[in-house]
Chain A
Amino acid sequence: MRKIPIILLVAGSLFLMSGIAMAASSTTQTVTYAVSAINEISVSGNPAALTVSTATAGSAPNSVSDATTTYAITTNETGKKITGAINSNMPAGVTLTVSLAAPTGGTSAGATSLSTSASNLVTGITTLNESGKTITYSLSATSAAGVVSSASKTVTLTVVDGP
Chain B
Amino acid sequence: MKKIFYSIIFILLAFTKAEAIDITATGSWSRTIDASDLASGAGSDLVGIYESAVNATVLTVLNTTGNSDNWRIDVRRSDSTWHGNFNIYIQRTSDGTGGGSISGGLSYIAIGTTDSQFFSGAGDRSSVNLQYKLTGMSVSIPPNTYSTTVVFTVVDVI
Smallest CB gap from B146: residue in A: A33
| Complex-state Cα separation, A131 to B45, whole angstroms | 11
Interface size on B, residues (CB 8 A): 66
| Complex-state Cα separation, A26 to B34, whole angstroms | 33
Interface pair B3/A24, CB less than 8 Å apart: no
Asked if B68 lies at the interface with its beta carbon under 8 angstroms from chain A, I say no
| Complex-state Cα separation, A132 to B40, whole angstroms | 14
Q: Which residues of A contact B143 (CB under 8 A)?
A: 35-38, 76-77
Known: A20-B17, A38-B139. A12 touches B9 (CB 8 A): yes
Interface pair B27/A30, CB less than 8 Å apart: no
Interface pair A25/B6, CB less than 8 Å apart: no
Asked if A150 lies at the interface with its beta carbon under 8 angstroms from chain B, I say no
Interface pair B150/A36, CB less than 8 Å apart: no
Pick the residue among B21, B29, B86 that contacts A23 (CB under 8 A): B21
Q: Which residues of B contact A31 (CB under 8 A)?
A: 28-30, 77, 88, 132, 134, 147-150
Asked if B106 lies at the interface with its beta carbon under 8 angstroms from chain A, I say no
Pick the residue among A26, A29, A38, A127 that contacts B35 (CB under 8 A): A38
Asked if A13 lies at the interface with its beta carbon under 8 angstroms from chain B, I say yes
Q: Which residues of A contact B144 (CB under 8 A)?
A: 34-35
Chain A residues numbered 48-100 whose CB sits less than 8 Å from any CB in chain B:
71-78
Interface pair B42/A131, CB less than 8 Å apart: yes
Interface string of A2-34 (1 = CB under 8 A from B): 001100110111011111111111111111111
A-B contact pairs, 15 of them (CB 8 A): A5-B6, A15-B11, A23-B19, A24-B74, A24-B156, A29-B57, A31-B28, A33-B30, A34-B145, A36-B33, A38-B38, A41-B42, A75-B139, A76-B142, A131-B44
